[in-house]
């Protein structure tokens, strides 16, 4: 979550390349790993939170009600962010507001849907069925993108305009969106890879054995994603099957690495800042984006001209205080780091007071 806030709060759009999403067809950047790794970690949390009820009789209704409640809250928070961002952009002119803009899927809505599907699959099916579901969804999404013809394009392409994902968005929402409706399918794959990882973690196996399994499966999944990417482009926007495998494999490798460092070597003194961010991750995501949208889309006056609040802040900090170009990549990075640090302070207070806003 700290990484997500870092890359989504640039001081200007001239950020360093690793802190930006890759262009269409280009090699993916570190930024392109952040969202799928968050989904992967959320998938790991599903067995950790639901395993104690999985094999109990008479609890299904209660468990499903909790899952539905969390899904609705997450989806509602995402919708509020979408509506607010569009209202601020339109200077709260309701006559210009389009309902479809507020209803477009965003990050939190996609997290909500993925949480709903992965939780139900984990609670209702065994591990073999979950693994089979991953394979079916991977191949099904590949077939959907490569075999279903799109108006004027045969075969379909992997860019945003020439595939069924965009066509469905246009038909249902009136416009293509950054978080496509159909691309939620491979997002579920990333979540299910996390679920399978979580199942391994909670099993009473030796930690060294878990480490070996995580590393070997991570290497295999990463390699498979890269190989598939030679013919089925690794694209973040479309969340292609190769992208889901590649990022999921990296997630497995990182999980194995942290298991080795924290649980086997017992080197855990450095993890507190990440625990602080993790304890209220959805809260800080929601609040940080409210602030970001306000800075990006609200206007202010600078030297007699109307600019965004963000630009005025950047000019004040870098142009006047440091006598440095406010549109430089370094200025953007410093601003992003300052935002991460700024939110860390209230999160730390909440963490020490054991205040956790549960979704």
Handedness of CA 148, 153, 157, 163 (dihedral sign): negative
> Where are the domains positioned within the chain?
2-352
Residue 267, φ and ψ in degrees, nearest 5: -100, 90
Residue with tokens 């939170």: 49
Predicted local distance difference test score (pLDDT) of residue 139: 95
DSSP sequence for 153-197: BSS--SSTTSSHHHHHHHHHHSS--SS-STTHHHHHHHHHHHHHH
Phi-psi region of 283 (alpha: psi -120 to 50; beta: other; left: phi over 0): alpha
- What percentage of the chain carries pLDDT values higher than 90? 52
Looking at per-residue confidence, does 115 or 181 come out higher? Answer: 115
Q: Tell me the β-bridge partners of 306.
A: 301
Rounded CA-CA distance 87/126 in Å is 45
pTM for the model stands at 0.90
| CA 123 to mean position of chain CA atoms | 23
Rounded CA-CA distance 73/358 in Å is 10
pLDDT tens track for 123-171: 999 999 999 999 999 999 999 888 887 776 666 666 666 778 888 877 7
Looking at per-residue confidence, does 156 or 212 come out higher? Answer: 212
Closest CA to 109 of 37, 177, 194: 177
Peptide bond into 353 cis (omega under 30): no
In the structure encoding, which two tokens stand for residue 283, read together? Answer: 């809260």
pLDDT tens track for 45-104: 999 988 888 877 778 888 899 999 999 999 999 999 988 888 877 666 666 656 555 556
User: Contact, 47 vs 202, CB < 8 A?
Assistant: yes
Confidence of residue 341 (pLDDT cuts 50, 70, 90): very high
DSSP state of 138: H
Tell the burial category of 304 from Cβ atoms under 10 Å away from its Cβ (0-12, 13-18, 19+).
exposed
- What percentage of the chain carries pLDDT values higher than 70? 89
pLDDT tens track for 267-325: 988 999 999 999 999 999 999 999 988 888 888 887 777 878 888 888 887 766 666 67
Beta strands in 249-339 (DSSP E): 299-302, 305-308
Rounded CA-CA distance 188/135 in Å is 12
Q: Tell me the β-bridge partners of 307.
A: 300
User: Contact, 47 vs 192, CB < 8 A?
Assistant: no
Rounded CA-CA distance 164/145 in Å is 6
What's the chain's length in residues? 359
Share the mean pLDDT of the chain: 87
């Amino acid at each position: 979550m700290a990484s997500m806030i870092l890359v989504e709060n640039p001081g200007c759009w001239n950020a360093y390349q690793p802190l930006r999403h890759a262009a269409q067809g280009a090699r993916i950047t570190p930024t392109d790993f952040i969202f799928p790794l968050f989904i992967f970690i959320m998938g790991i949390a599903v067995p950790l939170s639901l395993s104690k009820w999985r094999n109990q009789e008479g609890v299904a209704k209660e468990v499903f009600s909790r899952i539905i409640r969390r899904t609705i809250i997450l989806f509602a928070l995402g919708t509020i962010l979408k509506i607010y961002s569009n209202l601020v952009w339109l200077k709260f002119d309701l006559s210009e507001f389009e309902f479809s803009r507020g209803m477009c899927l965003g990050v939190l809505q996609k997290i909500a849907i993925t949480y709903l599907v992965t939780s139900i699959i984990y609670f209702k099916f065994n591990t073999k069925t979950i693994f089979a579901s991953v394979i079916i969804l991977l191949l099904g999404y590949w077939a959907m993108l490569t075999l279903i013809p799109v108006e004027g394009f045969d075969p379909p392409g992997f860019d945003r305009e020439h595939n069924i994902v965009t066509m469905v968005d246009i038909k249902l929402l009136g416009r293509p969106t950054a978080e496509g409706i159909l691309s939620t399918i491979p997002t579920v794959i990333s979540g299910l890879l996390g679920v399978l990882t979580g199942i391994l973690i909670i099993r009473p196996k030796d930690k060294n054995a878990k480490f070996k399994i995580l590393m070997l499966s991570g290497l295999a999944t990463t390699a498979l994603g890269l190989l598939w990417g030679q013919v089925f482009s690794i694209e973040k926007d479309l969340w292609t099957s190769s992208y889901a495998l590649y990022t999921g494999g990296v997630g497995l490798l990182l999980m194995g690495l942290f298991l080795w460092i924290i649980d086997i070597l017992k080197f855990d003194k450095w993890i507190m800042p990440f625990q602080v961010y993790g304890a209220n991750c959805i809260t800080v995501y929601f609040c940080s984006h409210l602030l970001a949208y306000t800075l990006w889309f609200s206007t202010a006056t600078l030297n007699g001209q109307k600019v965004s609040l963000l630009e005025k802040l950047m000019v004040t900090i870098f142009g006047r205080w440091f006598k440095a170009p406010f549109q430089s990549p370094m200025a953007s990075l410093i601003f992003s780091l300052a935002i991460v640090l700024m939110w860390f302070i209230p999160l730390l207070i909440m963490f020490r007071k054991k205040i956790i806003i549960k979704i």
